[in-house]
Structure 1
């Protein structure tokens, strides 16, 4: 968690990181259903006050599957241009559109997982297959 928080803090304020106890609801990011899917091993919040959530992932495909199930159920929100920023072993969501955009800059090297069926980024943005059919990894985000 500390390494993920340091990485995020290199692009957007994320200090200090505070662990979120199991069973409590984070202020941003995936809801409790996603966490109950068993794909998240630890979660924390940072920013002012807890506007950014970081999720340590043990199985990226299982996490993406759970995220897609939430999107399909309508729990993932109605904006087709939003999702969750994913790294190799963590995911990040924020109430701050500036924080989300900062982590999608080329120098950060992260992409957003988007499973919305109506997602259609403008030309020139990345849209790569994710680990789960019906989801893509993209650098396009609009709040």
Structure 2
């Protein structure tokens, strides 16, 4: 009886050791060396979805800074105050965007207007803004288009070549036309006025 009992106890001990070893093997597949789970998890973003990230727009505190910015990406030569350019012979054949009276109209939110020539001898109009929302509202109400927007300024490029050069500048187009939808694949961010967006699609 003692021999049979000893054999039975020995068999039970062997089974216990075997089961413990199996349990350790299964746990090893779920943990890495420091005890943390090695299974990868999703980042929380849908694989097929898209996100609209807010872009930090370029800013300029004065016309000299704005002209320097344009020269970094395109060209801005012979900078003149808007009124001076409007009175020059250049304005007869290549008028600048807008009118100098806009700076006196609070509805536009324009602090200063200036003009410089690009290297193709076309006029770029530079606008420092005191109120971006008022400016965007006036643009929409008057159905203006192809205005490039910074954080506190706007630019009307002289020609298609300059527009192409500014595509990498970080400026966005203010787009308010439902009749001309933006092609797919371009970023669209809410503008400050309903019905308009800021986009990296340059309609040149």
Query: The TM-score by the shorter chain falls in which range?
Result: 0.7 to 0.9
SS in 1 for 2:134: helix
Q: Report the TM-score when normalising by structure 1.
A: 0.79
Number of equivalent positions: 131
The RMSD of aligned alpha carbons is 2.3
* Separation in structure 1 between the aligned mates of residue 65 and residue 142 of structure 2, nearest angstrom: 28
Equivalent residue, structure 2, for 1:39 = 109
Equivalent residue, structure 1, for 2:65 = 3
- Within the alignment, does 1:16 sit opposite 2:75 as a pair? no
Which of the two has higher C-alpha Rg? 2
Bigger fraction of residues in strand: 1
SS in 2 for 1:95: coil
Q: Can you list the C-alpha shifts for 1:34-68, whole angstroms capped at 9, x where unaligned?
A: 55334111111111555101000001101101111
1:20-99 matches, cutoff 5 A: 20-21=82-83, 24=86, 27-31=95-99, 35=103, 36=105, 37-47=107-117, 49=121, 51-71=123-143, 76=144, 82-99=145-162
Structure 1: runs of 5 or more not aligned:
77-81
Q: 1:6 to 1:30 in 2, by over 3 A?
A: same
* Separation in structure 1 between the aligned mates of residue 138 and residue 101 of structure 2, nearest angstrom: 8
Larger RCO (CA under 8 A, 6+ residues apart): 1
SS in 1 for 2:163: helix
1:104 to 158, 163, 167: 167
